[in-house]
Structure 1
């Protein structure tokens, strides 16, 4: 009987090979030939799934987003108190373990690779900004956020903090360990939330 190939599984295999090549060789080393070799496929087999290099990169980055979204959706569905829930989500955006560190490094490499493709880059930035705004609006709805805050300004501040921390983790991983990251984010969130919220659930 002919061997049945799970095409989606194969596409994910190629995407993960792409991540590995980017991590080891940078975007300049992420050629179709190198990725095919890492995935254990011929060039023809790889091109069967992805006709162009850009098509492969887009799929690989969508898989990064899908992995993060899956973890975040589990947090959203949890019974955590509002403040703890938002903290947990923010700690999925900032890399604090080898898996999320690898994903973030690949993501930033792709962001810089597409920095001249303004339509692609703008969409990615806008999505993260909207996510930060949604978290603050959720805290406001739950009456956790200080009432006098300017949501738009706080969104900019939180976005800058989280994006900056993510970059610092990649560039200064020894200094920016998990404990420091948690403290910095919690310090900021304590300043914009109502006193006493943090002890809930302890």
Structure 2
């Protein structure tokens, strides 16, 4: 009888190998050859699942989205609304090694969006998640009275989304200039500033 292959189990095995490479060596090191070696497979066997590094990174990005969702759902969010909002938004920033490695995948995949439609589709999914988090944050702060009445919620959502992306990029590219404590301070200052009317 032909051997029955559990593709879901094999992909889970590959996900483990992929993230061991990413966590140990960085996202750029996650190639078909390196992940195959980590999994104890031949590159040819791995190419039955992923033929290019972009496909590997897309698979890794799906894992990033799942991991971020799991972290949100696993935590118990209690305390004053502004504090909870700040803590929730910090979850999308690369403030520790795991999240920094996840953000590296985001950055490498983002660089491929102009030439690879599949990468673009997955990046839009990831961006939509950050946009929804930004919208939820602004709405929660507004309901709490922590957003000045004259501020446009849609504009503030866009500004917050851009800030989160910018902090992520700076933390990855210039960690000496944007260490975790500074990223936290910039985010906290921005959120606190929403209490005040925008200057004319």
TM-score range, shorter chain: 0.7 to 0.9
C-alpha change, 1:135 and 1:123, in structure 2 (3 Å) is: same
Identify unmatched segments of 5+ residues in structure 2: 1-5
C-alpha change, 1:35 and 1:131, in structure 2 (3 Å) is: same
Distance (Å, rounded) in 2 between the aligned partners of 1:117 and 1:59: 14
Distance (Å, rounded) in 1 between the aligned partners of 2:162 and 2:146: 21
Superposition TM-score, scaled by structure 2 size: 0.78
Q: What is the root-mean-square deviation in Å for CA atoms of aligned residues? A: 2.7
Residue of structure 1 equivalent to 2:94:
95
Question: 1:139-167: CA deviations, max 9, x gaps?
Answer: 22333322222001101111111111110
Superposition TM-score, scaled by structure 1 size: 0.78
Question: Is residue 83 of structure 1 aligned with residue 86 of structure 2?
Answer: no
Question: Is residue 33 of structure 1 aligned with residue 33 of structure 2?
Answer: yes
Contact persistence 2:94–2:103 (CA under 8 A): yes
Question: 1:25-68: CA deviations, max 9, x gaps?
Answer: x2xx54322220133322354345x2533543322111111111
Identify unmatched segments of 5+ residues in structure 1: 195-202
Contact persistence 2:31–2:56 (CA under 8 A): no
Local SS of the residue matching 1:113 = coil
Distance (Å, rounded) in 2 between the aligned partners of 1:16 and 1:32: 13
C-alpha change, 1:20 and 1:79, in structure 2 (3 Å) is: closer
In the alignment of these two chains, the number of paired residues is 186
Structure with greater helix percent: 1
